[in-house]
């Protein structure tokens, strides 16, 4: 179930969307990943959904005092918009294209240009 909303983010309206799969939402800082280059902390790959079990109900991260919601009925709260790795963002008026949430059907490289052959 895809969810969409318009929120105020950094003082500006922003479109946000998610795939509604809160059971697989770990949070951008908590999603399991593999470090690829020990000399570059930004060079890593997040694991795909099918490589992981169910995400914790409370991953221990909070945004503006709000934690991960129990399900998509509570979308969007501050945690969804700022911390959830499954939340897509777009400034109002930036694009007429449909807004899609990030997919974790496959591994996602933080720096895909370094790993073109694997990220295809």
Quote the pTM value: 0.84
Span 6-35, mean pLDDT? 93
If 0-12 CB within 10 Å is exposed, 13-18 middle and 19+ buried, where does residue 57 land? exposed
Q: Look at residue 32 and tell me whether its pLDDT is greater than 70.
A: yes
Strands 12-18 and 44-46: unpaired
- Residue 60: its pLDDT value, please? 94
pLDDT band of residue 27 (cuts 50, 70, 90) is very high
- Residue 94: its pLDDT value, please? 65
pLDDT band of residue 118 (cuts 50, 70, 90) is low
Q: Look at residue 31 and tell me whether its pLDDT is greater than 80.
A: yes
């Amino acid at each position: 179930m895809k969810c969409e909303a318009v929120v105020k983010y950094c003082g500006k309206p922003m479109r946000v969307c998610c795939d509604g799969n809160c059971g697989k939402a770990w949070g951008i800082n908590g999603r399991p990943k593999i470090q690829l280059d020990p000399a570059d902390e930004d060079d890593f790959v997040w694991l795909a959904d099918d490589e992981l079990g169910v995400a914790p109900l409370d991953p221990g991260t909070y945004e503006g005092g709000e934690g991960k919601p129990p399900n998509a009925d509570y979308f969007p709260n501050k945690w969804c918009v700022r911390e959830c790795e499954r939340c897509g963002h777009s400034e109002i008026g930036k694009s007429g294209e449909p807004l899609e949430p990030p997919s974790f059907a496959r591994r996602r490289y933080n720096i895909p240009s370094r790993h073109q052959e694997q990220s295809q």
